Amino acid sequence: MSDPRLAGIGMTSARTRERLVQRLREQGIKDEAVLDRIRNVPRHLFVDEALASRAYEDTALPIGFGQTISQPYVVARMTEALLGGAQLHNVLEIGTGCGYQTAVLAPLVGKVSTVERVKPLLERAKLRLKELGIRNVRFRYADGTVGWKAHAPYDGIIAAAAPHAVPPGLLAQLAPNGGRLVIPVGPEGAQELLRITRRDEHYVRERLGGVAFVPLLGGLA
What's the closest the beta carbon of residue 36 comes to ligand SAH, in angstroms? 17
> Which 149-208 residues touch ligand SAH, going by CB under 6 A?
160-161
- Beta strand 177-185 with 156-159: parallel, antiparallel or unpaired? parallel
To the nearest 10°, the Cα dihedral for 84, 87, 158, 220? 180
Q: Which is nearer to ligand SAH, 17 or 117 (CB)?
A: 117
Q: Which is nearer to ligand SAH, 21 or 216 (CB)?
A: 216
- How many residues touch ligand SAH under the rule CB under 6 A: the total is 24
What's the closest the beta carbon of residue 60 comes to ligand SAH, in angstroms? 8
Q: CB neighbours (10 Å) of residue 107?
A: 17
How far apart CA 200 and CA 109 sit, in angstroms, is 23
Q: Which is nearer to ligand SAH, 178 or 212 (CB)?
A: 212
How far apart CA 212 and CA 221 sit, in angstroms, is 21
Tell me if 221 sits within 8 A of 142, measured CB to CB. Answer: no
How far apart CA 175 and CA 121 sit, in angstroms, is 29
What's the closest the beta carbon of residue 69 comes to ligand SAH, in angstroms? 4
CA 125, 130, 133, 135 torsion-angle sign = positive
What's the closest the beta carbon of residue 47 comes to ligand SAH, in angstroms? 9
13 is catalytic: no
> Which 57-116 residues touch ligand SAH, going by CB under 6 A?
67-70, 94-95, 97-98, 100-101, 115-116
How far apart CA 58 and CA 153 sit, in angstroms, is 33
Q: Which is nearer to ligand SAH, 144 or 179 (CB)?
A: 144
**Contacts with ligand SAH, residue ranges (CB under 6 A):** 67-70, 94-95, 97-98, 100-101, 115-118, 121, 143-145, 160-161, 214, 216-218
